[in-house]
Structure formats: structure tokens, C-alpha cells
Amino acid sequence: MSEFPELASPTAGQNIVLVGFMGCGKSTVGREIGLQLNYKLIDTDVLIEDSVGKPISDIFAESGEEYFRGLETDLLEQIKARNSTHKIISTGGGLPVREANRAWLKKLGYVVWLRASVDTVMKRTATSSHRPLLQTDNARQKVEEMLATRNPIYHEVADLSINTDDLKISETVHGIIESANYHFSNY
Ligand code: S3P
């Protein structure tokens, strides 16, 4: 049978990994990319909650943040061990903080950092009560501090960064798919 390379998806089934701070839109953008590329969405927070059988806020309260970070590392190793392709992997905001996790992310696929300003994060997380790290009296200051620490980490792991502050979901999705296609066609 003839092959028509120009008709094949240039992403060639390679995974796309989304990183970024809480509220930057990873889950929503991930879902939409999944629909457009016919990729399965893997949301690390959802998988961890399903496997433990508890919401993340309970895991933090009962076993602490380090325990949760260990679950994130275990999960990444399992995803990599399955040699997954055609996946869009949406990661919890703190997952890239561990160096070992960053190494796994780079092996898993094309890493996209969805950037967001403090104002945007505050706006998008205002009604959320399921993020234990933001359940504090001065959430804005906490977000400022965490962004200052984490932005260089996201920057280090990412192949591409997109400032989502003024973008519609559809624009962010379009940008990611175009860039991933270009990246993989030169791979
Ligand atoms: C966290 C982000 C959350 C979740 C947990 C810890 C973080 O995921 O993994 O509450 O450390 O930034 P989202 O970024 O999907 O909200």
C-alpha cells in the first residue's frame, strides 16, 4: 500500500507534556488537544487520586506533601515504562520541582510550559478549594513566592513556553499543536 507521509500527523504519535503553575489551564488545554489530535489525556492529579482513592487535599493532610511527590515520581516511571505514545500528559503544578521528575518529563515527550502571571493565577484559582497549597490566609503572597521559585524550574524543563494570560484556550491549543508538529518534523 502506498504511504502518504504528508497526510500523517507530523507529531508521529509523540507525547505532549504540559507543565505549569496551578490555574494555568493545563487540564482544560490538555483535554482540548486530546480531542483535536485524538490523543488520550493523562492527568497526573486524577490518576493519583484514583489510585489512592482520595482527593489530593486528603493525601496532603494525612500523609504530607513529600509523600504526594513520591506518588508523582512513581506514576511518571510507570507511564514511561509503558512506552506510551499518542498521549497528552497534564502534570500537577509541583511535579517538575523534583529533578528526577524533570528528567522523566524530558524522556516522555515535548514539554510545554503554560505560563501565567500572579493576577491570572489568582483569578483562575479564586473559587478553587481543592488545592491544599493555596488554602492559606495570604494566597497571593504564597503564589508570588512559589512562582518566583518555580518559574526557573518550568523554564529549565520546557521545550516551549506560552504566556496564557491573554490567550483563549483555542489559541493556546493551536499554538501547541503547531509547535509540536514543527518540533517533531525536525526531530
Ligand atoms: C500542586 C498543584 C496541583 C496538585 C497539588 C499540588 C502544586 O495540581 O498537584 O495540589 O504543588 O502546585 P494543579 O497544578 O493541576 O492544580
pLDDT digits (tens, 9 = 90+) for 105-148: 999 999 999 999 999 999 998 877 788 888 888 999 999 999 99
Q: Are 45 and 139 in contact (CB under 8 A)?
A: no
Residue 3, domain member (yes or no):
no
Residue 1, domain member (yes or no):
no
Residue 10, domain member (yes or no):
no
Q: How far is CA 11 from the centre of its chain?
A: 18
Model confidence at 11, pLDDT cuts 50, 70, 90, reads: low
Residue 7, domain member (yes or no):
no
| CATH code (residue 124) | 3.40.50.300
Residue nearest atom 10 of ligand 1, based on CA coordinates = 131
Q: What is the pLDDT of residues 66-91, one digit of tens each?
A: 999 999 999 999 998 888 899 999 99
Query: Which of these, 177, 133, 159, lies nearest to 39 by C-alpha position?
Result: 177
Residue 114, domain member (yes or no):
yes
Q: Are 156 and 100 in contact (CB under 8 A)?
A: no
Residue 21, domain member (yes or no):
yes
What are 168's three cell numbers?
A: 483563549
Q: Which domain holds residue 49?
A: 16-185
Count of domains for the chain? 1
Residue nearest atom 12 of ligand 1, based on CA coordinates = 93
**pTM (2 decimals)?**
0.92
Taking the C-alpha atoms of residue 23 and residue 7, their distance in angstroms, rounded to an integer, is 35
26 CA: nearest ligand 1 atom = 15
Residue 128, domain member (yes or no):
yes
Residue nearest atom 9 of ligand 1, based on CA coordinates = 92
Residue 185 has what pLDDT?
82
